[in-house]
Amino acid sequence: MPRADVSRGIQLEYEVFGDAGAPTLVLVMGFAAQMILWHVDFCRQLAERGFRVVRFDNRDVGLSTKLSGTPDFMQAMTGNRSAAIYALEDMADDVSGLIEALGVPAVHLVGASMGGFIVQETAIRHPQQVLSLASIMSSTGDRTVGAPRPEVVSVFLMPPPTTRDDAIARGLTLWRTIGSPGFPFDEEAIRARAAAAWDRNHDPAGIARQAAALFTQRDRTADLGRLKVPAVVIHGIDDPLVTLSGGQATAKAIPGARLVTIPGMGHDLPVPAWPTILDAIVDNTRRAGA
């Protein structure tokens, strides 16, 4: 797979699906998640709808550049931005650099979870590079909305896995806790996904740096109110990690944004919900064309 030099020594590993001459759509994944969490078939279905689809590893996960340093978690959890090694704004600048490396002036952006935070920051900081914006199971950075349900917090406090089997077991626990209660639980697929992520790369130090950036994110509400880009906000009604109020606040903050809620969907992308999600993304890109 290719790697793009995006900024200040950061290289991002990425993969492309679809026709090189089609409009480019960039998928941004969330906290601790490699690009393979965007399922190949999800990417292909978007490509079949007329896009050059790009998925990539954010800094500090997968095969992209790993940084150094240990954040001060106690301070980071209070929102002290100096405690983090880098900020979500830096990750948004990475996306901007990737767009430049792809050789196009602007793209359609789709972000899930922390990826939603990143694409929001990208649209704020680099509006000329964003044709449309889709924010999935995300929020605005305002700590009064989207707060996780108490039962999911303990899952994220578990120590990082040290073996492949541990990683698979942790993946099953995680997705049983934050996944979609209204859709079938595909244990075989989750086992395979956790194993593939472990085999491809596992770096707890990098994930810790991403976590600090997440904890210290700013409230983007006011800046989102100045966006002039077609936006759709997609959120599971039953999301226990970023609860529905986060998506509602995001849609309220962005002028003209459309809110699409999916009953039974949690903090994942269940295959039976793909048609609704894909339709919402594609319909929003058409607003950009109009």
Q: What pLDDT digit, counting tens, does each position of 123-151 carry?
A: 999 999 999 999 999 999 999 999 999 98
Distance, CA of 62 to CA of 199 (rounded, Å): 10
**Which amino acid, 18?**
G
Return the domain boundaries, the chain: 3-153+204-289
- pLDDT (tens digit per residue) in 164-223: 999 999 999 999 999 999 999 999 999 999 999 999 999 999 999 999 999 999 999 999
Distance, CA of 188 to CA of 52 (rounded, Å): 30
* Residue 74 confidence (pLDDT): 82
* Residue 26 confidence (pLDDT): 98
Distance, CA of 76 to CA of 98 (rounded, Å): 27
Distance, CA of 100 to CA of 102 (rounded, Å): 5
From the candidate CATH numbers 3.30.930.10, 3.40.50.1820, 2.60.40.420, 3.30.420.40, the one assigned to the domain spanning 3-153+204-289: 3.40.50.1820
Helix axis angle, 114-125 to 88-101, nearest 10°: 70
